[in-house]
Amino acid sequence: MSILDTRFETPYNTAPFSQLETAAFLPAFKKAIESAKAEIDLIVKNKALASFENTIEALEYTGEQLDRISSIFFNLNAAETNDTIQKIAQDVSPLLTEFSNDVALNTALFERVKAVYNTRESLSLTEEQKTLLDKKYKGFSRNGANLNADQKKILRAIDKELSQLQLTFGENILAETNRYELLLTELSDLDGLPEGAIEAAKQLAEEKHKKGWLITLDYPSYIPFMTYAKNRVLRQKLALAFGQKGFQNDALDNQDIVLKITQLRYKRAQLLGYQTHAHFVLEERMAKTPETVKTFLEDLLSKALPAAKKEFKELEDFAKKLDNIDRLEKWDSAYYSEKLKQQLFNFDDEQLKPYFKLENVIEGAFEVAQKLFGLQFTQTNEIDAYHKDVLTYKVEDSKQDLVAIFYADFFPRAGKRNGAWMTSYKSQYVKNGINERPHVSIVCNFTKPTSTKPSLLTFNEVTTLFHEFGHALHGMLADTIYPSLSGTSVAWDFVELPSQIMENWCYEKEALALFARHYETAAPIPMNLIDKIRAASTFQQGMQTLRQLSFGLLDMSWHGIDPCNIVAVKQHESAAFQATQLFPDVAENCMSTAFAHIFQGGYSSGYYSYKWAEVLDADAFEYFKENDLFDPKIAERFKTHVLSKGGTQDPLELYVKFRGQKPRAEALLRRSGLLN
């Protein structure tokens, strides 16, 4: 028997990573699927009348071992993958899709669920139970339960193909990222780069047994080069490589995959009776309809565009004056924006980095969580991890009761995809009177320590850490009965509120005083730098807003229409970007072919939610600012009505319970400096 087949005999039932054999995953998946099927059969064959307890609750708790194995395996596939894991993922995904369809298309099971749903008005259910019942019913009705036999076959085929295409899309991006290297052998090619970036590039070259300095497409390598390197030709070369991922007409090309994914999603939506994939997705979001999303994006666009155009003209004039640049290109943006910011505010990220040692920032996030929510984080070595860089913590409340297990994985490596995300290895829920506590992880790609310096974060990396930590708090402080409603299992346009609100503390002197200390002298960050951070917080907000809106509009352009007549990915993308385009187009580059959020992750028809949640977080943080940054009563309201409730109630209702009013966009516009 594999260790994956049983409850783990480990501290706090944590995943026993060091004991896991990769080859054991496929048979463990197959066994767990069969076990889950047997649990479903017991529900279907129950001769008693369908009730909330013997049908809805019973269904909620089926497949626990399968869920556990899936969370471990697919998290490893994102953070510590290899060829073997990727091959297993391709084999397992169709099995999981087939099982999911077996459940969703099980007529007898749906009849029992429907019987309970049809009598819901006569049942004495709690708010959470009502939500669970509604979710279970819609889980069937929205996923084919009402289709005829032939239509169900078509749905199964679509879902199987989609699961494999989405995996392949992500694998291609990771392979593209890993295969590109820019090896520099002349020190002059590094002109402008900070000392730490140069040292990191040399260390990276040495690790790969090469002489010189190595620049890659991993963010901690790519971003500093694009921001500081004086050599415009090399910036262009690197930017073109970054923008060509999945767009090179080779074995790793994603163009056909993008077309197939969007067409299959559309056909699936049509099969289920929806106009488009966006109509299907948004029915279960705060926004409800594509029309609402379109209005939201266009309204913000009308407010941001004048500011963005003004900022772009300012940047053009600055580059022309500084270096006689006649035409500003995309590979000039970060470089000249940084130079302009330095001139306007007399500071840059390199002045800040010494005050943002990774370990101090982690402790700062923990202290903010302690002040707001009474949490205590204790690093421990008794919990197994999947890589030596992963840190593990016990999280306890003021009574020293266990709240959660927390994993933190901060540095890039070959088996890890780019970006930053929060995930879970075990959900919070209550069963048999036991409140099972969650196991939560954040994964980032930050600047690694060098032989002479610790990991020193850029300010953007600091806000990224706080962002993912906010997601983690949402998972940690979950306090619901049912796992499918727990933690971050909320509407996608609500899920970014807990993450984005945490970023706000990074701009406040009371919070910065907790952790922003010089890594050599321990001196606190000077007040003048804090003032500059805040003054620069609205720098190019028009352009930044336009960039985010362009991604949301691109997403909706793929998913809010019938895409079956689209034949050229680049041509379609260019049309979608037209309303937000500032820089000249780069013919060799395409964003869609590397847009993992919508073609690999869960953000299809949902990328707008970042800006949507910004409205929520700006309005919510104003509530703190009107009182006190660490006001215990407001923090308790946020914990009670938002963080702990998961998806048990309508998100707008939860927000109003916390805030006492509906969110107002004016708060975001004020914070961004876009309100006239």
Reported confidence tier of residue 501, pLDDT bands at 50, 70, 90: very high
Which residues, at least 6 apart from 59, have a Cβ–Cβ distance to it below 8 Å?
40, 43, 109, 113, 136
Residue 378 has pLDDT above 80, yes or no: yes
Give the tens place of pLDDT for each residue, 343-367: 999 988 889 999 999 999 999 999 9
Which residues, at least 6 apart from 139, have a Cβ–Cβ distance to it below 8 Å?
104
pLDDT recorded at residue 233: 98
Residue 39 has pLDDT above 90, yes or no: yes
Give the tens place of pLDDT for each residue, 302-347: 999 999 999 999 999 999 999 999 999 999 999 999 999 999 999 8
Give the tens place of pLDDT for each residue, 435-466: 999 999 999 999 899 989 999 999 999 999 99
Average pLDDT over residues 253-282: 98
Reported confidence tier of residue 509, pLDDT bands at 50, 70, 90: very high
Residues recognised as catalytic: 468
Give the tens place of pLDDT for each residue, 251-260: 999 999 999 9
pLDDT recorded at residue 7: 85
- % pLDDT > 90, the chain: 96
- Rounded to whole angstroms, how far apart are CA atoms 559 and 274? 12
**Residue 54 Cα distances to 58, 62, 424, 643, 648, angstroms:** 5, 12, 28, 29, 20
Query: Strand pairing of 182-184 and 434-436?
Result: unpaired
Reported confidence tier of residue 283, pLDDT bands at 50, 70, 90: very high
Identify whether the C-beta of residue 425 lies closer than 8 Å to the C-beta of residue 75. yes
Average pLDDT over residues 581-604: 96
Which residues, at least 6 apart from 2, have a Cβ–Cβ distance to it below 8 Å?
21, 24, 27, 28
pLDDT recorded at residue 240: 98
Tokens 């379609």: give the residue.
572
- Rounded to whole angstroms, how far apart are CA atoms 305 and 537? 18
pLDDT recorded at residue 349: 84
Give the tens place of pLDDT for each residue, 93-116: 999 999 999 999 999 999 999 999
Average pLDDT over residues 188-215: 96
Give the tens place of pLDDT for each residue, 553-572: 999 999 999 999 999 999 99
pLDDT recorded at residue 676: 61
pLDDT recorded at residue 6: 84
DSSP 156-215: HHHHHHHHHHHHHHHHHHHHHHHH--EEE--GGGGTT--HHHHHHHHHHHHHTT-SSEEE
Residue 675 has pLDDT above 80, yes or no: no
- Rounded to whole angstroms, how far apart are CA atoms 631 and 621? 11
Give the tens place of pLDDT for each residue, 127-172: 999 999 999 999 999 999 999 999 999 999 999 999 999 999 999 9
pLDDT recorded at residue 589: 98
Domains with residue ranges and CATH for the chain: 3-146 (1.20.1050.40), 180-243 (no CATH)
Average pLDDT over residues 407-411: 97
Give the tens place of pLDDT for each residue, 595-633: 999 999 889 999 999 999 999 999 999 999 999 999 999
